[in-house]
Structure 1
């Protein structure tokens, strides 16, 4: 008999705030192919049906609460969403018998707890990142302190915790005070077929660089912990000494204004472009037209941008920190690493890779094989096996 599971997430395509939505979709579809009956409980708006079969995954949506105007109202918004999810989950439980509840990140923690207790079934929590890590340990003020508290409670409440890297396994066990044995490492995945570029890459590249210029890209949320400020600092001697280098910053976030101001102060305005938020087709195209992708994170649970770059044939340089160490292992085989937080060392590595074409070609070739280790079907198989193990264990 196949397992029937209820997955809770605050976003699911086509409602996409970030990488979480894509992760849950790919994982859910992979588990359906493994014979698991997957129901996803998430939020939605008038553009999506309240219930639909999306590639074998049954998606149930609660109407999204009015979006908060600022961070101070976000906690209330999350509480409202959880209340609505509990009501919808109870109704689902009256129609269907669920074997397990799986919540993704703290935003759905309270609803997961309530429904798992009501269904008398195990609860799994995937912790994709922590508030402690995002803020370098500064979680003494609201709402960071509240979010940190919810994460700690959720980790202790769950029958099993999943993290995307061994780094995150140790991080979660350390800051929340639980045994590492309660934390299972199942990595994120990538499907190279999802990385579809626009049709005319030559025209796209011409918008940002001349044929004889080299293009460096920075991709991700523009927040402090992504370390883009280090990359801008590192680029100053590069554009001065090599002269034919341009850069692109693709993304938006709370640190965007500071980064733009920094670029102006460093004299970089004539050497690059801030694109802001862009759609997936353009994003995936940037990897194809770039000569180098830099991932300079100060805190990084996994490193999906590095995987996307490698799968798209773009060599990458990553910070020697967090989950990036597992995505880009040592040895300069699939990518280069620099000392995390060290802009000068990053500059040295950027110049090395931009001026060494054989090295770039070798990294691209090796990386194309390396990314196959992060196959969604294997990740779905691992997750389904964990579900089966918990289902056999009395709650």
Structure 2
């Protein structure tokens, strides 16, 4: 199938991003893909078989566009896609997000082909159900327009499917759930890097990790509120809060107020390799989001081998099956968060079992090969359904005129579906099963030790002692070697 993707994200400068990965997987499956994207200082090119064309720079270019700039970019995007269309044309358009709605609608009309839209979040959802100000209301209206013009809408989770139906009046049969995709291999860290991360951030107790944007909706404040209780039950517990955002300063101040400034690290944004190692070094990855439509970071953590503790919110509830691939807790409840973390810290074998299942789940359901196959099937359905869909739309407009987007006051998501956490019941293994688990665990530990020794004997017990004599700071490696290795081996 010949596919035209319209995206604000620029795969030329984000080669590991969602657009680049999906496009490459589609090409690998035999499809022809062109990505039309905004100006990002890169030339038109072909990467992994994907043809990438860039619109010219728009006046007043900015990374945080206002609506007028967005409109200007959309006109340039549409012109570029028309000018660079191959001789055979396209069969379907895939628009990624509200930012490219105007271009997608114009191109649909110009080429006379259907378009499929992907939404990763909604404006109302980003603001916990409210639309603060005229800009938010305008964005909401554009999202409504996108949903009405698209033959099919793709969302990553069942929760976001509910949002799209509820907010934009899109019938259920036109909304498809395709889980988020990641490359599991990218999130498999080397043992030496995992040990280095553990030495950098952990003490003698467990290590908890959060990674993501530092904004109020991510709920990191709930993790900080729960940490004193966690440390009381599990002395020495430390936490890493990786990422950046408007809420970072307030979170640092809150950690100081709770006397947690020595127990919580705020390293800022970490590069992908470092983050993979930190995730793998964690005894638990904690994602306490108040709103989370996709949960991609949880997938990355699962791919790294971390045990998952997540709020029962939106997309996270779709990813984590309670007591099977992780542990969930009620949204916005620090006490529940503390109990969920405690369930893993007090039973390391159970935590490792959940982490292993989650890692396999990512490989089975969230590889880009699987995501591309499901997406291509939706393209085919859109092509088949487009004539009937457009006929219905035309009849509706002729009979009722252009639709008016009515935005009622108050919380638009006040009746959001609540996903119950449920009780945490995990079977106690019999002696034979427990022995097999222990043997597998020990085999992994032996492999980790052998790999690290093969990498120059950097972190054997003897090397750690020798380093400690040269550098006082390295004494931590000697005093805590067994503690550190226990965490590394479980990964």
Q: TM-score, normalised by structure 1?
A: 0.92
**How far, CA to CA, are the matches of 2:306 and 2:86 in structure 1?**
50
1:299-326 per-residue CA deviation (whole Å, 9 max, x = no partner) reads 1112112221111111010111211112
User: What is the rounded CA distance, in whole Å, between the counterparts of 2:11 and 2:188 in structure 1?
Assistant: 17
CA displacement, residues 109-155 of structure 1 (integer Å, 9 cap, x when unaligned): 11111111111110111111001111011104132111111111111
Whole-angstrom CA distance in 2 between matches of 1:96 and 1:261 = 59
Contact 1:11 1:21 in 2 (8 A): no
The range that moved more, 237-246 or 221-230, is: 237-246
Listed as ranges, the matches of 1:52-63 within 5 Å are 52-63=45-56
Q: Distance in 2 between matches of 1:54 and 1:342?
A: 46
Instruction: Say whether the 8 Å CA contact 2:116–2:382 is kept in structure 1.
Output: no
- 1:21 Cα deviation from its structure 2 partner: 6.8
- Give the CA deviation at 1:67: 4.3
Q: Report the CA distance shift for 1:21/1:90 in structure 2 as closer, same or farther (over 3 A).
A: farther
Structure 1 residues 67 and 272 mapped into 2: Cα distance closer, same or farther (>3 Å)? farther
Query: Within 1, Cα distance between the matches of 2:256 and 2:84?
Result: 54
Larger-gyration structure (1/2): 2
Alpha-carbon deviations, 1:208-232, whole Å to 9, x = none? 123x231100011112211111111
Cα offset for 1:327?
Answer: 0.7
Instruction: Report whether the alignment pairs 1:45 with 2:40.
Output: yes
Give the structure 1 partner of residue 484 of structure 2. none
Alpha-carbon RMSD: 2.0
Q: Which residue of 2 aligns with 1:151?
A: 143
Give how far 1:79 is off. Answer: 2.0
SS for the counterpart of 2:134 is: coil
**Aligned residue for 1:7?**
5
Tell me what 2:286 maps to: 294
Establish whether residue 351 from structure 1 lines up as the match of residue 346 from structure 2: no
* Cα distance in 2 for residues equivalent to 1:203 and 1:113: 50
2:316 aligns with 324
SS in 1 for 2:213: coil
Asked if 1:131 is matched to 2:129, the reply is no
- Residue 20 of structure 2 corresponds to residue 25 of structure 1: yes
What secondary structure, in the 3-state scheme, does the structure 2 residue paired with 1:197 have?
A: coil
Distance in 1 of aligned mates of 2:194 and 2:111: 51
Per-residue deviation, residues 344-392 of structure 1 (Å, max 9, x unmatched): 1101111221222121121122223222222321221111111122223
CA distance in 2 between partners of 1:139 and 1:80 (Å):
24
Q: Which residue of 1 aligns with 2:428?
A: none
Residue 246 of structure 1 corresponds to: 238
Query: Is the contact between residue 10 and residue 40 of structure 2 (CA under 8 Å) also seen in structure 1?
Result: no
> How far does residue 42 in structure 1 lie from its aligned partner after superposition?
1.2
- 1:165 is aligned, of 134, 148, 157, to 157
Distance 1:386 1:24 in 2: 16
Please name the residue that 2:298 is paired with.
306
Task: Output the CA distance in 1 between the equivalents of 2:87 and 2:102.
Answer: 21
Higher percent of residues as strand = 1
Please point out which of 311, 315, 320 is paired with 2:307. Answer: 315
1:87 corresponds to which of 79, 85, 96: 79
Aligned counterparts of 1:25 and 1:171: Cα–Cα separation in 2: 26
Greater shift in the superposed pair: 257-266 or 311-320? 257-266
- Which deviates more from structure 2 when the two are superposed, residues 119-128 or residues 239-248? 239-248
Uncovered stretches (5+) of structure 2, i.e. residues with no partner:
391-491
Partners in 2 of 1:96 and 1:280 — Cα distance?
A: 39
Q: 1:77 aligns with which of 52, 69, 73?
A: 69
Secondary structure in structure 2 of the residue aligned to 1:207: helix
CA distance in 1, matches of 2:236, 2:30: 53
Cα 1:94–1:38 change in 2 (3 A) is closer
d(CA) in 2 for partners of 1:278, 1:361:
25
Does residue 367 (structure 1) correspond to residue 358 (structure 2)? The answer is: yes
**What is the CA-CA distance between 1:43 and the residue it aligns to?**
2.5
User: CA 1:14/1:88 → structure 2, altered by over 3 Å: closer, same or farther?
Assistant: closer
Rounded to whole Å, the distance in 1 between the matches of 2:286 and 2:346 is 15
Q: Give the C-alpha shift of residue 183 in structure 1.
A: 0.7
**Cα pair 2:11 2:19 within 8 Å, conserved:** no
Gap change, CA 1:103 and 1:93, over 3 Å in 2: same
Q: Is the 8 A contact 2:222 2:334 kept in 1?
A: yes
Q: Is 1:113 equivalent to 2:111 in the alignment?
A: no
Q: Deviations over 1:224-259 (max 9, x none)?
A: 211111111111222344221111111112222222
What's the counterpart of residue 201 of structure 1? 194
Alignment correspondent of 2:395 = none
